Structure 1
Amino acid sequence: MQRNLKVAVVGAGLMGHGIAQVFATAGHETTLTDTSKDVLKAARGYIKHNLEQMKIESDVVLERIHLCGDLAEAVSNANLVIEAASERIELKQQLFKRIADAAPQSAILASNTSVIPITKIGEHLENQARFRLVGTHWWNPPHLVPLVEVVATNYTADSVFDETFEILRELGKTPVKVYKDVPGFIGNRLQHAMWREAISLVERGVCDAETIDTVVKQSFGMRLPVLGPMENADLVGLELACAVHQIIFPDLDCGKEPSPMLVDLLEKGHAGMRTGKGLREWTADQAEEVCRRLALHLIAAGDS
């Protein structure tokens, strides 16, 4: 039987409102809090839009989501607190000190950071809180992407690690256990290794940014939903994989800093879709269409 939880989500922005939606859809009473009144107020509209896009009745789900502007009040009765604030280490450290003081001492404390080591986030906490701290890295959009990486530190109690995994599994997510608290965990290390090489190819004049996207989407990207990289390596044979690596590895980008091209684009104010230009140029309609197409693709994948 699925447990009934009282969940608090700290941060109602890009990830937070989607995470709250998942718990509320599964029947859990969920409190959503944010320091910005505007962000908090807008969360209901975003959730309603998501649910309508997924063809889920929104009224029942929204009744389970409670908006609260006070952090201490929001977490005071929670069994599970998930932090989904901006990717700033000092902010997350401060938040967890406040959360640990206000939440029940039995509550699981989880961070949705995508790259910051969980150990670093909890380094100023007392041991009783550090034992209950775990990483839960959801993927954007969190209400549609199944994977959640559950990250243990050297302090995380085994019972907390296992219970968090089970809670996510009961939600219908696909949790995986990350046993070593490395920056970026699993998925982002893989993803950004590819991004580094993709940006390098453009920077070196091998091709343009649009070609990178075409190559990925029209070749190995088509296989990825059913054939992971380890499966693919075994499929083609490790002799071939090793031979390819001997030729290609010496020429791959191994930079330890962000690409100079990326830094230059940012200095010129080209931050991506929201500014109309990044690695590619975007109109507002094109950017909106990408988001719409992604959502519909993920919804269809979840239904199949």
Structure 2
Amino acid sequence: MQHPLSVTVIGAGLMGHGIAQVFARAGNRVTLTDPNQAALDAAVKHIARNLAEMKIASEPVLANIATESELSRAVMTADLVIEAVPEKLALKQRIFTDVAKWAPGHAILASNTSVIPITLIGESLDANARARLLGMHWWNPPHLIPLVEVIRTAHTSLDVFQAGFDLLLAVGKLPVKVHQDVAGFIGNRLQHALWREAFALIEAGVCDAETIDIVIKNSFGMRLSVLGPMENADLVGLDLIREVHAILFPDLNCSKAPSPLLSQCIEQGNFGMKSGKGLRTWTPQQAEEVRHRLATLLISMNAPAGSL
């Protein structure tokens, strides 16, 4: 595809504005669309704040971003459409039905879903649109986390699969190819397997939520960014790993249902930071400090050597 691209991001919330920022910063023309005008206005402010936090001039990036509340107008000239709306299958299906009708026939169609199989999202599309549909799962915050999972369905054209991968490389991301359309893809299957065991430990009275965070942040979590689990297995030795698994695996949680602890918190109105309490208790200041601490760390990790 030609450069600059015409990119449309659907959904101006938590993920959408960061995805728009990445493509705009790389010099592409970006249209950010959402039926909620207040969300669009807030998204522009969030992007400006992100850029200030990164010590990047906001004017050139914001000049590449337009906002549009009408989906049909937002996608009519798009080369790439990325959907970043809430994780509701029917909503995503409806959006892609409309996008396939209104966007150019060459446009790559991508969903940022974190868990829903892409095949389900595109099941009502015609063959041409299904061939152009893939998963493009970004991680929060998308403007700071390098990885993007690119997911191919049985219907996705190999050319489209490669083109989506290449577009992400061109804007400075680290894409990986997911060759089978499994729920949760790679990263979330791994992350939620850890969460399932963490919730089970709390439910069993082994420890509390704060202890879980202390243990992870001050042990294996410290090395994960430089030593992945497969590297660590080879480092430790596969013979020892097998011995550990023979003892440990029979005792690990293998529930097929969400944790009762989650249901208990939700029924009590405890949703997490947004309500002031979840597994732990949060003031607005504490929640903002977590966000700021994470952003500062990720910015430093992404900075060129010697720039800080």
Give TM-score scaled by structure 2 length: 0.98
Structure-2 separation of matches of 1:27 and 1:64: 7
**1:295 and 2:287 matched:** no
Structure-1 separation of matches of 2:7 and 2:260: 42
Moved over 3 A (4+): none
Residue aligning to 2:67: 67
Query: Which one-letter code corresponds to 1:54 in the other structure?
Result: M
Residue aligning to 1:95: 95
Residue aligning to 1:149: 149
Structure-2 separation of matches of 1:240 and 1:215: 22
How far 1:190 moved relative to its partner?
0.2
SS of residue in 1 equivalent to 2:96: helix
Structure-1 separation of matches of 2:184 and 2:48: 31
SS of residue in 1 equivalent to 2:110: strand
Residue aligning to 2:277: 277
- The answer on whether the counterparts of 1:5 and 1:29 sit within 8 Å (CA) in structure 2 is yes
Residue aligning to 1:10: 10
Residue aligning to 1:116: 116
Residue aligning to 2:166: 166
- The answer on whether the counterparts of 1:2 and 1:170 sit within 8 Å (CA) in structure 2 is no
Pairing 1:131-210 to 2, within 5 Å after superposition: 131-210=131-210
Give TM-score scaled by structure 1 length: 0.99
How far 1:74 moved relative to its partner?
0.3
Structure-2 separation of matches of 1:49 and 1:144: 13
Residue deviations 1:227-279, cap 9 Å, x none? 00000001100011000001110110100001111111101100001111111
Query: Which one-letter code corresponds to 1:13 in the other structure?
Result: G
> How well do the aligned residues superpose, as a CA RMSD in angstroms?
1.0
- The answer on whether the counterparts of 1:108 and 1:132 sit within 8 Å (CA) in structure 2 is yes
Question: What's the % identity of the aligned pairs?
Answer: 61
SS of residue in 2 equivalent to 1:240: helix
Structure-2 separation of matches of 1:218 and 1:268: 31
Structure-2 separation of matches of 1:41 and 1:97: 26
How far 1:2 moved relative to its partner?
8.1
Residue deviations 1:39-96, cap 9 Å, x none? 0111110000000000000001001000011101000000000000110000000000
| Alignment length (residue pairs) | 304
Structure-1 separation of matches of 2:48 and 2:40: 14
Query: Which one-letter code corresponds to 1:276 in the other structure?
Result: G
Query: Which one-letter code corresponds to 1:262 in the other structure?
Result: L
Residue aligning to 2:255: 255
Residue aligning to 2:245: 245
How far 1:3 moved relative to its partner?
2.8
Structure-2 separation of matches of 1:285 and 1:92: 34
How far 1:35 moved relative to its partner?
1.2
- The answer on whether the counterparts of 1:135 and 1:149 sit within 8 Å (CA) in structure 2 is yes
How far 1:37 moved relative to its partner?
1.2
Residue deviations 1:2-44, cap 9 Å, x none? 8310000000100000000000000000000001111011111
Residue aligning to 1:39: 39
Query: Which one-letter code corresponds to 2:80 in the other structure?
Result: L
Structure-2 separation of matches of 1:21 and 1:285: 26
- The answer on whether the counterparts of 1:110 and 1:134 sit within 8 Å (CA) in structure 2 is yes
Structure-2 separation of matches of 1:215 and 1:139: 23
What are the ranges of 5 or more consecutive residues in structure 2 without an aligned counterpart? Answer: none
